[in-house]
Structure 1
Amino acid sequence: MTVLVRPSPLPDPKVRSFDMLIGGKWTAGQEGRVIERTAPSHGMVVSRYRAGTAADAERAISAAREAFDNGQWPRMTAAERSRILLKAADLISARADELAYLDAIEAGKPITQVKGEIAGAVDIWRYAAALARDLHGESYNTLGDGTLGVVLREAIGVVSIITPWNFPFLIVSQKLPFALAAGCTTVVKPSELTSGSTLVLGDILIEAGVPAGVVNILVGTGPEVGAPMTSHPDVDMVSFTGSTGVGRLTMANAAQTLKKVSLELGGKNPQIVFPDADLDAFVDAAVFGAYFNAGECCNAGSRLILHKSIASDLVARIAELSKQVKVGDPLDPTTQVGAIITPQHLEKVTGYVADAAKSGATITLGGQPLDFGIGQYMAPTILSDLSPEMPVARDEVFGPVLSVLTFETIEEAVRIANAVDYGLSAAVWSRDFDTCITIGRRARAGTVWVNTFMDGASELPFGGYNQSGLGRELGRHAVEDYTETKTLNMHIGDRTAWWMPRGQS
C-alpha cells in the first residue's frame, strides 16, 4: 500500500492577488479580467492573476523594445549588470520561503522539493551573473598588414520567455538571468496555472535595480498572450519550455519573422540496466526518477530498459520501495509525491494506464487515483510486460507512471532507447567501463547519466535531441545563446583599387 499523507488545512487560506508588470509598473491590464488558480492539493482558490490580452502583450513588447533600443540596460557595463543579478540572487534567497510556498500550493509540489529548487535557482542566478562578465568576442590580427578583424557579441534584443507549470521558478531561472546577463530585454509569460512565484520575481528584480521595461511579466493563455509573444515582429528571440506540440506551434509562429528559437520540450527518458550494475543504487534511482515531481517532469526516468536476466527481481524490488513513497499533502515536509496539476491531466494519466492494461500490460503497482476527498492525486504506478510499441512506452505520460521493458544485448537496448520521438536524457547502469561508454555515445540524448540519475549543475548544458527541443540551457555558453555575432572587418592604410591601380588615369 502507498503511504498516504492526508492534506491538512492551509496555514494561510487567504487568496493572494497579483497584477501584471509592464514598463516597470504594476497594472490591471487592458480589460482587468482575472484568472483564478485552484490548488490541486486542496481544491480551493489560492491565487488570482490579472488576465493578459493581446493588447497587453503588445504593450509589454513595446516596453521591452523601447528599453532595448533606447534604455540603459544593454549599454551598461557587464560588471554593472552582474552586480544587479547578484543582488537579485540575494533577494531570491531572502524570500525563498515565500516563493517555495507559492510553487507548492499552486503546482501541488512537495514543499521540501521546492525549497531545493529555489536554492538551485539562486545558484543559477549567481552563475549567470559571473558569465555576464565573461561574455566577449574575438579578434584576428593574422589577416595581413592591412586588415584587422573583430567579432563582437551583441545582445540579440527583445526575448519572449514562456515557461511551464511543472517547475515555475526553476525554469524561468534557467532562462531569464542569462538573457539579462547578455543585455537583452524581455517579456515573460509563466503558465496561467502557476504564475505567483514569477510575479514575485518581478518585484524582486525591481528592488535589485533592473530598469523599467527590461523585464515585463504578464499572465494569460497561449492563444491570447503566447501567440503575439512568438509572432510579433519586434521580438527577436523566443525561449520556450513546454510540450512538444506547443513547441511546434511556437516554432511555426516564430518562423513568420524568422526569429531565433530555443525550445526545451518533452522526454521519454530511459534507464538502461545491466546485471553487473550496483542494483541497490539503481533501485533507489528508479523510484526517484519515476516519481520525482509526481512524474510531471520532462527529465523523468519513466522508461526502464532492464536486462532480462534481472528484470523480474528488479521490478519486485522497485515495487516494494515504491510502496514506501509518501504521497499527499505538498505542504507536509515528509511528502515525496504531491498532487497532480489539474483534474484533466489526472484523467489523461489514468487513461494511458487503462489503455496499457487493455493491450496486455500488467499493472504491477498502483494504477489508480487516490481519493483524499479534496484535490487530485495519483498512486505511484508500475507497468510491466510492455512492448516498445505501446503508447505508454513511447509517449510522455507526465505522471507517476513507470514503464518496464527488457533487452538481451547492447544493440537491442540502444535500439529500444532510441526508438521514440524524444531524446532529452538517458542513463546507463553498469560497472563495465566499455558498456557505459558505448551506451553513452550511442544514446541519442542531450544528457546521459552514468550510474546515477537526474544529477545536474549550473555549469552543465541541458537540452535534447529530436523532438525534445532545440538549443541548450545552462552551461558556460548559455549567455551566448542570447546574442548575435557581428563582424567588423577593418582596413588599415591605402586600399588597393579594383577598377584601376592607384596613380594611373
Structure 2
Amino acid sequence: MTEFTLIPSAGTAAVDAPFTGRHLIDGTWQDSADGRTFERRSPSHGVLVSRSALAGADETEAAIAAARRAFDAGCWSRSSGKDRATLLLKVADLIDARREEIARIEVLESGKPIAQARAEIEGAADIWRYAAALARTLHGDSHNSLGADMLGLVLKEPIGVVSIITPWNFPFLIVSQKLPFALAAGCTCVVKPSELTPSTTVMLGEMLIEAGLPAGVVNIVLGYGDPVGALMSEHTAVDMVTFTGSTGVGKAITAAASGTLKKVALELGGKNPQVVFPDADLDQAADAITFGVYFNAGECCNSGSRIIVHEDIARDLVSRVVELSRRVPFGDPLDEATKVGAIISDAHQAKIDGYVKDAASAGAEVQLGGGEMEVPGLPGRFYQPTVVSGVTPDMAIAREEVFGPVLSVLTFRTMDEALALANGAAYGLSAGVWSDSVHTCLEFSRRVQAGTVWTNTWMDGFAELPFGGVKESGSGRELGRYGIEEFLEVKTVQMRIGRTRQAWVAAD
C-alpha cells in the first residue's frame, strides 16, 4: 500500500487522430517547405497527441516579413482602439466556446490536470477581455503649461513587430499574457510556442482568423529554439522580443537581441520563498504551502519551492505539510479528481531527482517522497510529492530552480535572518510572508527583493495586477496596465502656436 494518494488511469485518453499543426504565415496555414514534421507524445498517457510542421529559417523569415509588412501597412497598427477591442472580445468568446477542446489537448501535451487546464483557459479568456478594455482606454498626455505659444504632446505608439516565445508549462495562459496586450497596443507578432506543447497556440491562431484579424498581424511558427527562436531574437525586422522560460535561455535571447538593441522583456525563473513567522495561522500556511509546491507538479515559475520557517514552529509546520502532501491526489490528468499530473519529460524528471539525491547526500533529510512514482494503468512519468528539511543555504536545492514537486525547508530566528535567506538567491520573482501582524507583513514586503509579494496567501492572480521579476527572474511586466506599456514607444511632439518663434539670425 502506498503512502500517497494516487488516481489510477481513467481510461479516457484515446485520441481519434493526432492534432495536425501547421504554421500560420501571412494569414494562411502552411506546411514546412521541406515537409519536415515533429511529434508530441503525452507525458502521462504515452499516446501520440500531435504532429506539427517543423520550421526552419525559411518559414521564420517569411513570418517575420509578413508581420513587418502588416505593421508598416497600418491595417492594424493605425486602427482604432475600438476596432482592436472588438476583435479581442470576439477572441475571448471563441476561447470560451472551445474551452473543453483546448483543455483536453493541453492536458495530453503537458500532463497537467484537466480541472486546472479548464481554469487556465477560463482565465486566459478573462485576460483577453481585460486587454480589450486597455485598447479603448490607451492614451498619451498633453502639456499646456509650456507657455502661451507652445503645446506639448506625448504620444504612445505601438513598438512594431514583436517576437513572442512561450514555454511548455502554461502554453495557452502565457501566450494570453502577452499576445492580447501586444495586439491592443497595435503591434504585429510572430509567435513560437514550445515544441513540447504547440497545439493550443495553433488553435488560438484559428480563433484569431475566425475573429477577423487581418492577414500577417499574427504569425505562428512551430519548431525549436534553433533556428526559429534564435532568428526571431536577432532579426533586424523585429523590434521587440518577449520571452517566458528559463533564465539561461533568457540570457541567450538577450545576447542575440543585443546586436540590434531591440527591446527585450523576460519572465524567467524563480526560487520563491515563503517566510512563516511564529504568529502565523499554521493550518492556512500549511495548505497554501502544499498548494504552492505541487501546483502544476511544481513546473511553475511561481512555485513556492522553499519555505523559510521560524525555528520555534518548524517541526510542527513541516509535519502538517507532510500530512497534507500524502493526501494530494497525484495521477491521471484526465480524471477530475487529480490535482497533480505528470512530469514533462524523462530528462526533466531526472533533473528533479538529481536535486533531491544531491541534497540528501549533503546532509538534508527527505521527510517524504524523493523518487519516481508509478500510477496504475499509466505509462507516463510521475514524481512523488517530496519534502526536504535540514536544507542549508549553500545547497543547490536551496538556491536553484528545481521545477518539480519538491519543497525545501530552511529555518530562521530573526526578521533580518529571514530576509537574508529570502534575498540570498539570484532570483526575485515572488515571495510570501505568513504572520498575523500587519507590521511584520509590511516590513517583509518592503524589504524582500521580489516582483510580487503575497501576504497570508499564495499565488492569487488578477488580470489587473502586474506580474514580473527582479534580478535573474527577468525584466519588464505582464498584465495590468503595465502589460500594454511594454509594447508601446513614447514620442514627444512639440507644437508652436502661431508665428511666434524668435529669429536666431537677425534680419537685415
TM-score by length of 1: 0.98
Match of 1:436 among 437, 441, 448: 441
The corresponding residue for 1:178 is 181
Quote how far apart the aligned CAs of 1:275 are.
Answer: 1.0
**Alignment-mate amino acid for residue 377 of structure 1:** F
SS in 2 for 1:245: helix
The corresponding residue for 1:270 is 273
1:29-63 per-position Cα deviation (integer Å, ceiling 9, x unaligned): 22221110010001222111101111111000000
Match of 2:481 among 454, 457, 476: 476
**Aligned: 1:282 with 2:285:** yes
The corresponding residue for 2:318 is 315
Match of 1:138 among 138, 141, 145: 141
**Alignment-mate amino acid for residue 265 of structure 1:** L
SS in 2 for 1:478: helix
- The equivalences for 1:98-247 within 5 A come to 98-247=101-250
C-alpha contact (below 8 Å) 1:339/1:378 kept by paired residues: yes
**Aligned: 1:60 with 2:39:** no
The corresponding residue for 1:450 is 455
Match of 1:422 among 420, 423, 427: 427
C-alpha contact (below 8 Å) 2:15/2:49 kept by paired residues: no
Quote how far apart the aligned CAs of 1:147 are.
Answer: 1.2
Counterparts of 1:393 and 1:290, CA distance in 2: 14
1:159-206 per-position Cα deviation (integer Å, ceiling 9, x unaligned): 000000000000000000000000000000000000110000000000
The corresponding residue for 2:19 is 16
Quote how far apart the aligned CAs of 1:375 are.
Answer: 0.8
- The equivalences for 1:292-371 within 5 A come to 292-371=295-374
The corresponding residue for 2:264 is 261
Quote how far apart the aligned CAs of 1:76 are.
Answer: 1.2
Counterparts of 2:16 and 2:245, CA distance in 1: 30
Quote how far apart the aligned CAs of 1:11 are.
Answer: 3.7
**Alignment-mate amino acid for residue 197 of structure 1:** T
C-alpha contact (below 8 Å) 1:153/1:486 kept by paired residues: yes
SS in 1 for 2:236: coil
The corresponding residue for 1:378 is 383
SS in 1 for 2:222: coil
Counterparts of 2:387 and 2:398, CA distance in 1: 12
Quote how far apart the aligned CAs of 1:499 are.
Answer: 2.1
Counterparts of 2:134 and 2:32, CA distance in 1: 35
**Alignment-mate amino acid for residue 248 of structure 1:** K
C-alpha contact (below 8 Å) 1:361/1:385 kept by paired residues: yes
Counterparts of 2:501 and 2:462, CA distance in 1: 51
The corresponding residue for 1:494 is 500
Aligned residues: 502
Unaligned 5+ runs, structure 2: none
The corresponding residue for 1:3 is 5
Counterparts of 1:157 and 1:324, CA distance in 2: 50
The corresponding residue for 1:95 is 98
The corresponding residue for 2:399 is 394
Counterparts of 2:472 and 2:18, CA distance in 1: 39
**Alignment-mate amino acid for residue 219 of structure 2:** N
C-alpha contact (below 8 Å) 2:310/2:412 kept by paired residues: yes
Identity of aligned residues (%): 58
C-alpha contact (below 8 Å) 1:90/1:122 kept by paired residues: yes
**Alignment-mate amino acid for residue 289 of structure 2:** A
1:341-378 per-position Cα deviation (integer Å, ceiling 9, x unaligned): 00010000001111111101101000000123501000
Quote how far apart the aligned CAs of 1:27 are.
Answer: 0.3
Quote how far apart the aligned CAs of 1:13 are.
Answer: 4.6
Superposed structure 1 runs of 4+ greater than 3 Å apart: none
The corresponding residue for 2:409 is 404
1:403-450 per-position Cα deviation (integer Å, ceiling 9, x unaligned): 000000000000000000000000000001111111000010000000
Match of 2:36 among 23, 33, 57: 33
Counterparts of 2:434 and 2:389, CA distance in 1: 20
After alignment, is 85-94 or 66-75 more displaced?
Answer: 66-75
Counterparts of 1:64 and 1:397, CA distance in 2: 37
Unaligned 5+ runs, structure 1: none
Quote how far apart the aligned CAs of 1:20 are.
Answer: 1.0
**Aligned: 1:78 with 2:84:** no
**Alignment-mate amino acid for residue 430 of structure 1:** S
**Aligned CA-pair RMSD:** 0.9
Counterparts of 1:491 and 1:20, CA distance in 2: 49
Quote how far apart the aligned CAs of 1:490 are.
Answer: 1.2
Counterparts of 1:448 and 1:346, CA distance in 2: 29
Quote how far apart the aligned CAs of 1:329 are.
Answer: 0.7
1:129-160 per-position Cα deviation (integer Å, ceiling 9, x unaligned): 00001111111111112211111111110000
The corresponding residue for 2:48 is 45
C-alpha contact (below 8 Å) 2:15/2:47 kept by paired residues: no
Counterparts of 1:479 and 1:387, CA distance in 2: 41
Counterparts of 2:207 and 2:254, CA distance in 1: 31
C-alpha contact (below 8 Å) 1:135/1:480 kept by paired residues: no
1:108-142 per-position Cα deviation (integer Å, ceiling 9, x unaligned): 00000011101110110000000001111111111
Counterparts of 1:224 and 1:31, CA distance in 2: 15
